[in-house]
Amino acid sequence: MKRGNTPDKFSYCEWSFWRQGLFSIAGVDEVGRGPLAGPVVAAAVIFPPEVILPGVTDSKRLSPRQRLALFPRIKKKALAIGLGILSPNEIDRINILQASLQAMGKAVRNLNHRPDLVLVDGNHSLDLPFPQQCLIQGDRLSHAIGAASILAKVVRDLLMEACHHRFPVYNFRMNKGYGTREHLAALDKHGPCPIHRLTFRGVLSGERSRPAS
């Protein structure tokens, strides 16, 4: 992998699958496991064979401006895109790990193109009727997973900015639901709002560590 934010296009694992004749490769990733508020959002992306967009990598390695610049380019070049969103209530009901896996499965099922192979970020397979391969740090190894991480991050950030207008005292526009000092102070003063994850430590109690996920 090339150093810096932009990998060399031939370093993406898709090339090995394309050479094997697997041309419809979906990458799927999720964002929003750690925050105290808001949904978990997953995206799945399929690109035409050998389509590589410069700059695509793990969304956490990119600035908000870089992600926003890549967002329309990914949508334009992708063969298919699917989204999966699970609400805070669903997260509280089934736990964040299961919610993340369900969101990713939902994103793949929402693709309008059948994949030959699904590349899943992480080490948990999904309940899907398609061949799949799990990749640790897949958003850095797979072009499709990296693109999915960017789409999911931008969509979730936009949702949290919309939530800011409903619940401005928590400043979701800036913290996106993460447990910043300002956010925790607002929780101490106002208590949780309808989009807080009530099963997460730090929302209803004085404990300020994030839950294991």
Residue-level pLDDT at 211: 39
Residue-level pLDDT at 204: 86
Q: How many domains does the chain have?
A: 1
Residue 201 lies in a domain: no
Residue-level pLDDT at 202: 87
Instruction: With cut-offs at 50, 70 and 90, classify the pLDDT of residue 7.
Output: low
User: Residue 72 belongs to a domain with what CATH number?
Assistant: 3.30.420.10
CA angle 123, 129, 131 (to 5 degrees): 55
Across residues 119-144, what is the average pLDDT?
96
- Domain that includes residue 75, residue range: 9-163
Instruction: With cut-offs at 50, 70 and 90, classify the pLDDT of residue 66.
Output: very high
Residue 192 lies in a domain: no
Structure confidence by residue, pLDDT tens digits, 29-52? 999 999 999 999 999 999 999 999
pTM value is: 0.91
- Residues ≥6 apart with Cβ < 8 Å to 154: 67, 68, 71
For the cut 80, the answer to whether the pLDDT of residue 141 exceeds it is: yes
Residue 64 lies in a domain: yes
Amino acid at 2: K
